[in-house]
Structure 1
Amino acid sequence: MNQQVPREPKYHAIAADLATRIRSGEYRPGQALPSQRDLSAAYGVTMMTLRQALQVVEDDGLVSQQPGRGTFVTEPRAAYQLDSLRGLAEDLREQGHTVRTEVVGVGTRRAPAWAAAELGTDRALRVERVRLLGGRPAVHQVSWVRQPYGSMVRGVDFTQVSLYAALSEHDVVVHRATERLRPAILEGAIAGLLRQAQGVPVFVSDRVTYGMDGEPVVVDRATILGDAMEVRAERAATGLSLRWMSSVVVD
């Protein structure tokens, strides 16, 4: 007796076809898809089936359905990986994004309390950068590098070389990192550097990277525009551990 293989729902096939067309550039970011009526006729399905397909494509972040206006292709988003010990630029380039780094400033400074508490010292090399994705400012990043590592990399051109790559050139091996990600509102000078109005939603990442001796090497604070990137993590039985914190107080 032959076991019948379940047929794939039609809306899955339609969603896959639309996704392929978007990723190939047939439908470009900001462009409206044909109307639902035209799409349902082109695919030979009911409006209900077509709407199921569009919902799948929207859930994948490829389109945005705007009531009364239509369905529009969204701008591609980069993924902020939580499970990597590489630098941010390396992660983004591996995903196929065009990344450019602008260096705002490099110099030895008195670290703020939040960074000094992690580093165990109040003076460190401060590296301030802005990451541009496709020419658009998307991430502001301040890295505090503990001495003597800061002196090793002070003369590096950080527009071309990542901080992690510069450290590895001096045989500094990073062993592990802890990271805390929280929602925030864009404020102050960072808003100007990211060319955004104050008050827009952002993610703020605080990351501490440790060397083989267990001592901190770098403390980072990255401010990430909420509409430019999405956060992703790979889960495994012995891999990444995500801890969800709530700010809601329950009586």
Structure 2
Amino acid sequence: MSRPERFAKPEFVPGHTLITGASGGLGQALALHYARSGTHLTLWGRNLQKLEKLAAACSAKGSTVTVHALPLTDLDAGIALFREDDTRKPVDLLILNAGVSDIRPYGALTESIESVKEAALVNYAAPVTLATAAASVMAPRHCGRIVLIGSVAAHHDLPFATAYSSSKAGLARFATSLHAAMTPHQVGVTLIEPGYIDTAMSRRLEGARPFLVSAEKAAALIAQAAASKRAVVIFPGIFALLKLVSLLVPRAIAHRLLRLARVKQNAA
């Protein structure tokens, strides 16, 4: 055995991975990334047909799979279902990937109340309650990983996407706080803040999507971050630089520039 092989860290292979938002593009890529013989996947999403098709693909790679179609706006149902899934087989890796993105309709003064409510529940309330439920059972076991999918939108005051940017900003603070709380218990908590990922959600946006990353590459980067228990991962790296720049620009100037942006999206 060569020296590099002898001292290489063992690969993190979770026995039970639970992924929310698995019927979307990134969720599907994550499920396929972790699918292999000897592992179990629990896939949550809103589209049962897509989940069943994904389950078949993951089963072909050797995994056993359970699927659940549910809306994450029902927080109590989500917590109860997580506890059932964890009782059936302890969850080693929880990836809180589900999210919604909406922007202010062109010409409107604000986003719709319904879209703001949904963003608050799906992007913030659901992941923080599920992460807390997971942490409460992982900490006594002294093992486990929790991954929360945020966004670089959290770094900026987006006047055309107030609910989305603020929900992701709140999620970011929760994730780093939970990381601080869980580190002594050997539970990894990782916040992922990606830029544009090539999924149906980002394809709704009109115009350019700079520094676009494929769903497959994003899944690989997320898996690496979870395995190493990194606290925060921003990709592509240029968005980390832009975050630093935004801290140096006076808020009044930043807001003026952001108000000039004309961002539109197609209907879902």
> Which bin holds the TM-score, normalised by the shorter protein?
under 0.3
Give the TM-score normalised by the residue count of structure 2: 0.25
Greater C-alpha radius of gyration:
1
Give the TM-score normalised by the residue count of structure 1: 0.27
Q: Tell me which protein shows more helix as a share of its residues.
A: 2
